[in-house]
Amino acid sequence: IVKSICFRERIHLLIPTIDDELPLFGRHTEDFKAMGIRVSVSSERTGLICNDKYSTAQFLRDKGIPFAETWLPKDLDIPRLKYPLFLKPRIGRGSVGAFAINNERELRFFLDYVPDPIVQQYLSGREYTVDLLADFRGRVISAVPRERMVVRSGVTDRGKTFNHPGMIQLAVRTAEALEIRGAANIQMKLHRDRATIFEVNPRFSGGIPLTIADGADFPAWL
């Protein structure tokens, strides 16, 4: 259906924005390219890694990139855990099912309440998203950090762009490791000038209008 719409409407650039669809479009980029249509999406492999928050943690930590320590329920040594922690679905979006955990009672409740959860180290500091754009060869064109000042339903409602070379360099390293193509948003906490990533989404972020307003016009550059 999408191919037929693109053909009928003479579309030459396709930009998927829904997490669940990213691996599918990543699998078929060459099919679209044969029709004269560029798909601004990372590979199927990258989409699958980023959609699975545990896989993202394992992949980036193996690459030496600072990422929040992340556990599956079966790997938790509950009596020795230090609180607070953070619990969320292994595969999910929009902050649905995400909870701060303050003690063992809450942990045991939410482990049972949230389907297929992961548990993460609770990161101190201010929360930032780095909006990033790579070209179709994987060369990073731009990376713009912005503080998430007010967040509603997982989307930035109010924010402020922020020039921080350390966060920019970390985002570029991450994009290169994951072989990002097109847009991505990399979420991290900044504490005492040290940034630690806790999630990567290989797509446009909900707060992208702020980055565009700041002069980084990702859609035009694509």
The pTM score is: 0.91
Strand partners, 156: 151
| Amino acid (1-letter code) at residue 120 | Q
Model pLDDT, residue 116: 95
The span from the CA of 139 to the CA of 64, in Å, is 20
Nearest alpha carbon to residue 69 among 80, 78, 56, 79: 56
Mean pLDDT for 194-213 is: 94
Mean pLDDT for 62-79 is: 96
Model pLDDT, residue 152: 66
Chain CA centroid to CA 27, Å: 19
Mean pLDDT for 70-97 is: 91
The span from the CA of 220 to the CA of 38, in Å, is 14
Say if residue 24's pLDDT is above 70.
yes
What is the percent of the chain with per-residue pLDDT over 70, rounded to a whole number?
96
Mean pLDDT for 203-222 is: 93
The span from the CA of 131 to the CA of 14, in Å, is 19
The span from the CA of 42 to the CA of 177, in Å, is 12
- List, for residues 31-54, the tens digit of each pLDDT value: 999 999 999 999 999 999 999 999
CA count, 13 A, side-chain hemisphere, 167: 29
Q: Which of 31-40, 41-50, 93-102, 133-142 has the lowest mean pLDDT?
A: 93-102
Say if residue 137's pLDDT is above 70.
yes
- Is residue 84 reached through a cis peptide bond, with omega within 30 degrees of 0 on the bond before it? yes
Say if residue 212's pLDDT is above 90.
yes
Length of the chain: 222
The span from the CA of 132 to the CA of 127, in Å, is 16
Q: Which of 3-17, 120-134, 149-163 has the lowest mean pLDDT?
A: 149-163
Q: Are 53 and 91 in contact (CB under 8 A)?
A: yes
Say if residue 94's pLDDT is above 90.
no
What is the percent of the chain with per-residue pLDDT over 90, rounded to a whole number?
87
pLDDT top residue among 12 and 151: 12
Mean pLDDT for 48-73 is: 97
Nearest alpha carbon to residue 51 among 96, 97, 92, 88: 92
Q: Is 148 left (phi over 0), alpha (psi -120 to 50) or beta?
A: beta
Nearest alpha carbon to residue 200 among 103, 131, 110: 131
Say if residue 215's pLDDT is above 70.
yes
Q: Are 26 and 46 in contact (CB under 8 A)?
A: yes
The span from the CA of 119 to the CA of 88, in Å, is 7
Say if residue 63's pLDDT is above 80.
yes
